[in-house]
Amino acid sequence: MTRNLHQNPCWSAAGQRPARRPTITLPSLLLLALFLTSPVYAESYLPRTHAKEGDTFRAAFVPAVKTITPAVVEVRVAGERAALGCVVSPDGWVVTKASEVFRGAASVRPAEDQTQITQPPGGVLCVRQDGTRWPTLVVGVDRETDLALLKAAAPLEPWPYVHWGVTWHAAAASDEPAPDDTSLELARVRPVVSMSPGPWAVVPGFGTALQRRTGGVLAVGVVSAAPRPIKSRARMGVFFASGSVRPLVRFVQPESGAALAGLRTGDVLVSVDGTPTPTPLEVVEALSDKLAGDAVAVTIRRGGAAQTDQPETQLELKIVLGVGPDRPDNRSGRMNEASGPLSRRRSGFPDAFQHDARIAPSSCGGPVVSLDGNVLGLNIARPERVGVLALTNQQVHEALVRMTAETNTTSGP
């Protein structure tokens, strides 16, 4: 039977019914508005305060840091915050990150003919959570772990501390604290036998504002990598010309140690710390045992064949090594640096684990604890956008033993 198209205009000439045009009615709009403003819809989007770095989220971890927070101090150099520190004895000895305290100085170690460590310009001040301040002296630096030991310039009243298994009084016959110190002991650190990725990592912070907002919790994350040696990546900040047999400088990274020392494109490196470097490979080998912050003596040749418009000259430069990308076009390095400041020294550690509780370089030097409040280690560097390296308890203990042995005192390390 043939349809009568004239009698039913809704049918097309091909015998198909056309699609109906969608219409939006007023009741539909009212229902949509009601849904968008309903609590169910609002709760489907997490408020910023409840996100990983939000105040509400961090405040949930207050029980984990409540015990250890009184031992966390702020270390200031020339009046500005340089790092966090941890009180390790009842009379105010503090361990912190050395390279941040010395702020890229030529060397944080005393010269062979010196008996004392050169103090950072501007002086070092420690500040407790209650606002108490006291001047300190750097009495020990451990190059291997980048830790520094600070001693109060004047006697202090007893203060809560974290016991790292180090004898602080010459009269003590064992690694146990003196009897009158036990009441001030906030925590006793024990070596972690094994650590695998996954546990919570909670970082206690400093300051009344942080206490008011989050209860003292600076950052929260999880352990993302088990302890392992962190290979040194100390760099001058130069890149050699490809295809050249000699270590001919093609590019000098801005603001690097090489740039600050006056190295230029076209210079040729003759030796490093007295070791001849006829090829780029010899330069790499000469720096293989160096760490960021070390100063090296470099002999260069400038002018001559490489620069025909200048007479050939030989110069002596002192370059402070830093950490930088392997190549000028290193995309990963640029992305890491674009996300915020990274630690001056962020490699060359004997044993460190990694977590993602993101903190600034000026917040390194303090402890990181587990969910139940046990000390996991000491934050030592921010090497990348979201990763933080922390020294294991065993490494901190061994560094403290080395530094206390160098101080040669009778009433402390």
Distance CA 257, CA 18 (A): 75
Of 379, 391, 395, 73, the C-alpha closest to 203 is 379
Residues 6+ apart with CB under 8 A from 360: 340, 341, 382
| DSSP state letter for 165 | S
Signed CA dihedral, 164, 166, 169, 173: sign only: positive
Structure tokens at 7: 């009698």
44 has pLDDT over 60 = no
| DSSP state letter for 22 | P
pLDDT at 201: 95
Distance CA 303, CA 157 (A): 62
- HSE-up of 153 (CA within 13 Å, CB side)? 11
Position 157 confidence tier, pLDDT thresholds 50, 70, 90: confident
Position 175 confidence tier, pLDDT thresholds 50, 70, 90: very low
Instruction: Tell me if residue 399 falls in helix, strand or coil.
Output: helix
Helices (H), 125-226: 208-214
Which residue type does 224 have?
S
Q: Mean of the per-residue pLDDT values for the chain?
A: 79
The strand pair at 161-163 and 185-188 is best described as: parallel
Mean pLDDT of 256-269: 92
CATH number of 234-321: 2.30.42.10
36 has pLDDT over 70 = no
Mean pLDDT of 59-83: 92
At which residue do the structure tokens 């009212």 appear? 30
pLDDT at 332: 54
pLDDT at 400: 92
Mean pLDDT of 76-101: 92
Position 249 confidence tier, pLDDT thresholds 50, 70, 90: very high
CATH number of 62-230+350-407: 2.40.10.120
Residues of the chain with CATH 2.30.42.10: 234-321
pLDDT at 101: 92
* Phi and psi at residue 219, to the nearest 5°: -160, 155
Q: What percent of the chain is modeled with pLDDT above 90?
A: 40
Residues of the chain with CATH 2.40.10.120: 62-230+350-407
Which residue type does 387 have?
G
pLDDT at 122: 84
Instruction: Tell me if residue 321 falls in helix, strand or coil.
Output: coil
Of 246, 199, 240, the C-alpha closest to 221 is 199
Of 101, 105, 149, the C-alpha closest to 124 is 101
* Phi and psi at residue 55, to the nearest 5°: -65, -40
Kindly report the length of the chain.
413
pLDDT at 210: 86
Mean pLDDT of 266-295: 90
At which residue do the structure tokens 């305060």 appear? 49
- pLDDT top residue among 139 and 111: 139
pLDDT tens column, 360-390: 999 999 999 999 889 999 999 998 888 999 9
